[in-house]
Amino acid sequence: MKRLRLLLFTCLLIVGNLVHALEVEPFPKNGSLTDIFNTNCLQMTQSQQMLKAYIMKGLGSNFDDPSGSLERAIPAYDLRFTLIRKFFQERLKDHPEAIAAFDKAQNIWDESKIILQDTPSKEGALKLKANFSQMIPLLLQGSKPAAEGGLELLSLTGKLCRGPMKISIDYLLKLWGAKMPDYEADVQTIIDDFHANLKELQANKLNTPRTQDLLGQARKGFLFFEMMYNSKTRFIPNLLSRKADDNFKIIRSIKAEYKKQLQ
């Protein structure tokens, strides 16, 4: 029976590879402001996905093909970064702080791209974690003056999506043996922020029964990460990676529903 359960679990993981591999969609040509704003939010979240793949590769895992995923994702992400930056800098010429924010973000990404392409190391992962923690707010700052008509909702859903990703990254780094003296405080902050962001989204007037249901699913999914953090059990990286990606799919569905009403 144990062997049968193990075989079934392995089959599910193999099938899951076809669904959960990291994919960076191209920049939306002739997209609306809502489309590009959403793509910039996706840029923030997918930096975390690439970091997770980098760590999984460093842990020696082949789950969801982290090596191949990074090889495909980095150039696609790089091109999309350039096009997003160009879009907002041309649109926000009267906002020098926004232009400067994207310039700083570009410098951070250029450094991070080199690390992502190199052999994974604990030091590299911690550097990427620090870099992306600086880059994400800059991407938000660079697009913020263009936020209108409720586009802040898309930023808030992005924050909700990154919560489980960040916990996963911290947990995987800890499993790898990386030095993380502020681990407990960092994770508690992530948990608190997730609940605050969720509460704000649930109270939004644009919600429908569909979005409320999806937000409920996101809340239930997040219970896994809270349980994992408080558990004495050692969770396997593959399961953790899958759970984070499952949450990513739920939040993207919520974003799609909000986009319908914003356009």
pLDDT the model gives residue 262: 79
Residues of the domain holding 213: 22-262
pLDDT the model gives residue 256: 87
Asked whether residue 11 is domain-assigned, the answer is no
Q: Minimal CA–CA distance to 44: which of 121, 145, 134? A: 134
Asked whether residue 207 is domain-assigned, the answer is yes
Alpha-carbon span 120 to 57, nearest angstrom: 7
Asked whether residue 1 is domain-assigned, the answer is no
pLDDT the model gives residue 21: 57
pLDDT the model gives residue 236: 84
**94 phi and psi, to 5 degrees?**
-90, 10
**Residue 245: exposed, middle, or buried by beta-carbon count in 10 A (0-12, 13-18, 19+)?**
buried
pLDDT in tens, 212-237: 999 999 999 999 999 988 888 888 88
pLDDT the model gives residue 26: 92
pLDDT the model gives residue 162: 92
pLDDT the model gives residue 232: 82
Asked whether residue 199 is domain-assigned, the answer is yes
Q: Residue 137: how many CB atoms within 10 A of its CB?
A: 13
pLDDT the model gives residue 3: 39
Alpha-carbon span 103 to 243, nearest angstrom: 34
Asked whether residue 6 is domain-assigned, the answer is no
Alpha-carbon span 32 to 20, nearest angstrom: 27
pTM: 0.88
Asked whether residue 167 is domain-assigned, the answer is yes
**Residue 239: exposed, middle, or buried by beta-carbon count in 10 A (0-12, 13-18, 19+)?**
middle
Looking at the structure of the chain, the number of domains it has is: 1
Asked whether residue 88 is domain-assigned, the answer is yes
Asked whether residue 208 is domain-assigned, the answer is yes
Q: Which residues of the chain have pLDDT under 50?
A: 1-20
Q: What angle do CA 116, 156, 55 make, to 5 degrees?
A: 20
Which amino acid appears at position 238 of this protein?
N
